[in-house]
């Protein structure tokens, strides 16, 4: 009895109890809402978020496409799957960067080994950009369930571990997208063909030519991640192809990141195909949706050209090996 009276009379103790009660209430609300959002997130059956979950947790395709929006729109499944006689899934995601790409590869390799991975490399891929780190936010919902991704996610900021104590935090910028992808509200897969999203417009703007500019410093972490992609695929016995797909603009001098990526690929004996400024595509604006993306017809044409390039390289490798065996 005296203890309760003492507490009532001591304003500091009362204030401490109120703070503890408030913190406990916030924690309970955070846990409850976080669990609710998590449940909705992982019940999605369409849209960007669903495709990330499918890539990380479910795909067992022989051929996996990795990269940004250019990967998502440039590699046509009907052409690649049929021509290479491989099952196909496109794990490209709009607005993603190399940390996200490596996370997808790492998670896939933990489950199984695809026969082929095509990694779409973008111009200025090694140029320092905070966005490259910020977009690891796409992976926040998988932090607890995918330990292999945690060090990648934690590159987002110094305080990421602390922020992730909150169960709401991984979903707080995704509420509208989660709702759009929930089966009760959106039952179709939003134009998804094995992860590939076709673009349908035709570009009719003139070709832009940029003057030569001095080379920029590279983000050392991004270069290291790129080497990890090459190394992990080689160690796993996966045939990796690094590809720069077509753009509808050109530069007077080669992009520094593309030059460096090619050099690194050569060190790892990884095939590197650069269609970035292919004259064939620069002469055909109608194969583009905009200056950065091919439309569906362009994706079909490019995919067919890539298949031919891959088969030529396979033929060279086979011939070389046969000569060694004789």
Tell me the helix, strand and coil percentages in the chain, rounded to 5. Answer: 55, 10, 35
**pLDDT, the chain, mean:** 88
Task: Give the phi and the psi of residue 209 in degrees, each rounded to 5.
Answer: -115, 120
Helix, strand or coil, per DSSP, at residue 193? strand
Q: Rounded to whole angstroms, how far apart are CA atoms 195 and 183?
A: 17
Beta strands in the chain (DSSP E): 63-66, 88-90, 116-120, 208-210, 239-244, 249-251, 271-274
Cβ count near 152 (within 10 Å): 20
The residue-averaged pLDDT of 172-184 equals 63
The answer to whether residues 139 and 170 touch, using CB atoms and an 8 Å cutoff, is: no
Residue of 200, 213, 232, 193 whose CA lies nearest to 114: 232
Residue 81 has which token pair? Answer: 């799957």
Q: Is the pLDDT of residue 143 over 50?
A: yes
pLDDT number for residue 33: 78
pLDDT number for residue 277: 94
Residue with tokens 């970035």: 276
Band of residue 275 on the pLDDT scale cut at 50, 70, 90: very high
Band of residue 67 on the pLDDT scale cut at 50, 70, 90: very high
Least confident of 14-28, 44-58, 69-83, 128-142: 14-28
pLDDT number for residue 325: 53
Band of residue 157 on the pLDDT scale cut at 50, 70, 90: confident
**Strand partners for 110:** none
pLDDT number for residue 189: 46
Percent of the chain with pLDDT over 90: 66
Percent of the chain with pLDDT over 70: 83
Q: Is the pLDDT of residue 188 over 70?
A: no
Q: Is the pLDDT of residue 68 over 80?
A: yes
The residue-averaged pLDDT of 164-183 equals 73
Q: How far is CA 204 from CA 208, 247, 281, 282, 290, in A?
A: 12, 14, 13, 12, 8
- Which tops the pLDDT comparison, 175 or 67? 67
pLDDT in tens, 71-130: 999 999 999 999 999 999 999 999 999 999 999 999 999 999 999 999 999 999 999 999
Q: Rounded to whole angstroms, how far apart are CA atoms 261 and 296?
A: 27
Residue 315 has which token pair? Answer: 């033929």
Q: Rounded to whole angstroms, how far apart are CA atoms 296 and 305?
A: 14
Q: Is the pLDDT of residue 297 over 80?
A: yes
The answer to whether residues 123 and 96 touch, using CB atoms and an 8 Å cutoff, is: no
Q: Is the pLDDT of residue 151 over 80?
A: yes
Residue 207 has which token pair? Answer: 């070709």
Band of residue 30 on the pLDDT scale cut at 50, 70, 90: low
Cβ count near 126 (within 10 Å): 28
pTM: 0.87
């Amino acid at each position: 009895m005296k203890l309760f009276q003492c507490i009532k009379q001591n304003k500091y103790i009362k204030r401490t109890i109120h703070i503890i009660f408030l913190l406990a209430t916030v924690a309970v609300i955070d846990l409850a809402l976080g669990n609710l959002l998590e449940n909705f997130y992982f019940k999605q059956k369409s849209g960007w978020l669903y495709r990330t979950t499918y890539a990380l947790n479910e795909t067992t395709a022989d051929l996996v496409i990795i990269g940004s929006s250019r990967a998502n729109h440039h590699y046509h499944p009907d052409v690649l799957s049929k021509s290479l006689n491989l099952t196909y899934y496109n794990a490209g995601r709009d607005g993603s960067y190399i940390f996200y790409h490596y996370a997808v590869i790492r998670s896939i390799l933990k489950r199984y080994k695809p026969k082929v991975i095509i990694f779409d490399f973008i111009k200025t891929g090694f140029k320092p950009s905070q966005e490259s780190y910020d977009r690891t936010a796409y992976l926040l919902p998988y932090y607890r369930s995918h330990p292999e991704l945690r060090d990648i996610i934690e590159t987002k900021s110094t305080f990421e571990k602390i922020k992730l104590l909150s169960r709401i935090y991984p979903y707080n910028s995704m509420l509208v997208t989660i709702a759009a992808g929930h089966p009760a509200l959106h039952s179709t897969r939003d134009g998804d063909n094995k992860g590939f999203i076709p673009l349908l417009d035709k570009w009719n703007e003139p070709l832009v030519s940029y003057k030569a500019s001095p080379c920029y410093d590279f983000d050392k972490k991004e270069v290291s991640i790129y080497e990890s992609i090459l190394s992990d695929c080689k160690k796993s016995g996966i045939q990796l192809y690094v590809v720069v797909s077509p753009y509808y603009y050109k530069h007077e001098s080669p992009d520094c990141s593309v030059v460096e990526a090619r050099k690194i690929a050569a060190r790892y004996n990884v095939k590197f195909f650069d269609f970035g400024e292919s004259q064939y595509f620069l002469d055909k604006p109608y194969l583009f949706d905009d200056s950065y993306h091919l439309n569906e017809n362009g994706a079909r044409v490019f995919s067919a050209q890539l298949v031919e390039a891959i088969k030529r390289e396979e033929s060279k490798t086979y011939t070389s090996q046969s000569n060694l065996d004789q």
